[in-house]
Amino acid sequence: MVFSSILFIFRFLPATFFAYYLTPQRWRNVTLLIASLIFYSWGEVRYFPIMLSVILVNYFAGLLLEKWKNRKALKKITLAVSVIFSIGFLAFFKYSNFFIENVNFLFGTSWPLLEVTKNLPLGISFYTFQIMTYTIDVYLGKIEVERNIINFGTFVVLFPQLIAGPIVKFSDISNELKKRSLSLEQIQDGIELFILGLGSKVLLANNIGALWTELDTTGFAGISTGAAWLGIIAFELQLYFDFSGYSLMAIGMGKTLGFHFPQNFNYPLISRSMTEFWRRWHMTLSGWFREYLYIPLGGNRVSVPRQYLNLFIIWFATGLWHGAAWNFVLWGLYFGVLISLERLFLRPLLDRHRIFSHLYATIGLLVGWSLFAITDMGRIGEFFGRLFTFHSGDDWMFYLRNYGITMLLGIVFSLPVLNKLREKCPKFCKYAQLPFLALVFLLSVAYLVDSTYNPFLYFRF
């Protein structure tokens, strides 16, 4: 299955870009729409009618919102229908079995789980939030309605970022959907970003992540405290390079097509607080919750107690967005608590003491990722027992010997090292760039062809 997926990608991308560049500019969105629908349907053809219905409902909702812009009641009904329709599919596929499991637990019932929802439609959490930015912004009068259904459909299913983001608002690319320019320099920049993202995902995330996978598979009962800390550090690095790598690939491919997608990561692991971390990690999701949930709830314009209630609503929703399991809810609320404490009294202390703030953020994040990585609540307690009560053993030496170099590379590249190197040695970087990118690309392709371990962690969201 992995090899067939690789073959599809290596056939799909060159053919798509070749067709796209040969197509006259006025018809390029048609080419993109067809290619994106093929891309989505190859992996999820049974969910194609859902994608099509979401496009059509929200397209016509936009037209009705424009038509009834002076009739508040009809506008509200139209917006509600479009949002409920879009959210409804997400809720059904992602949360129905979670709801059934909890009802069965609380009331002792034995309702059967729904087989159809065991596999999520690819990227449903991302494209649902993305399409909602259009109808909500049209309702609020922030953007003009899109009357061209080809342009609108292209926005929804644009293949580079369809599956795992970044979450692109309609306003981000509305002008480029109508007219965009391409230059050789832009295409070159896009290819560079794509290769760096591919290398981040394949060479770093996959290799580092094998450590955590090994620990998670064998169980936590017999591991040492050192191995537990190494394991969760590996998971953090895997998740970062997995998701930021995909985002870089998406942004790079977007550039080669003439689109400028928003930045999604800004070296989050150098953060000195949880507040700063969430301004650097998955920036498009944080921005979405701030603009479309936190501000409508009143944001900072309400009383202090209500502000903290709003924060907890946001972080409950953030946790639930990531997965239909209580560990994700706890993970979200955990960040809500820490960010609230930072607002209350921690922030001045963190600003004054650099070493303490980095230590606080590093340990705090690793604890948070433990909640994120382990879905079984009983196993979370077992893992925390290994993290915070000393258990001797030399297994950590085995893992460090096998994964130490890869983890060190991961730590180095999670810092803005390349940016600093470009600033200090621009001439060297100019000459070294092409050989470096060629090496990364060749090694990544070789790894993809040879390896069966190639998970995209955020595909399940």
- Catalytic annotation, residues: 322
**Residue positions counted in the chain:** 461
Decide: helix, strand or coil at residue 258. coil
- Nearest CA-CA partner of 215 in 239, 233, 199, 242: 233
Residue for token pair 């190639």:
454
Q: Which residues contact 16 (CB under 8 A, 6 or more apart)?
A: 31, 35, 39, 159
Query: Residue 329, Cα to own-chain centre: how many angstroms?
Result: 17
Distance CA 402, CA 207 (A): 10
DSSP string, 240-283: HHHHHHHHHHHHHHHHHHT--PPP--S-GGG-SSHHHHHHHSSH
CA 208 to chain centre: 19
Burial (CB count <10 Å: 0-12, 13-18, 19+), residue 140: exposed
C-beta neighbour count of 433 within 10 angstroms: 12
Q: Is the Cβ–Cβ distance between 47 and 55 less than 8 Å?
A: no
CA distances for 182 relative to 31, 174, 177, 292, angstroms? 16, 16, 13, 32
CA atoms within 13 A on the CB side of 139: 23
User: Cis ω on the peptide bond leading into residue 166 (within 30° of 0)?
Assistant: yes
Structure-token pair, residue 244:
């930021």
Cα dihedral sign, 378-383-389-395: positive
Beta-carbon contacts of 141 under 8 Å, excluding residues fewer than 6 positions away, are: 69
What would the DSSP string read from start to end of 180-202? ----HHHHHHHHHHHHHHHHIII
User: Using CA atoms, how far apart are residues 387 and 229, in angstroms rounded to an integer?
Assistant: 6
| Cα gap 55→57, rounded to integer Å | 6
Task: Tell me, letter by letter, the H, E, C secondary structure of 340-357.
Answer: HHHHHHHHHHHHHCHHHH
- In 3D space, the residue among 448, 450, 439 whose CA is nearest the CA of residue 202 turns out to be 448
Q: Rounded to whole angstroms, how far apart are CA atoms 459 and 161?
A: 11
What count of other Cβ atoms lies within 10 Å of the Cβ of residue 415? 12
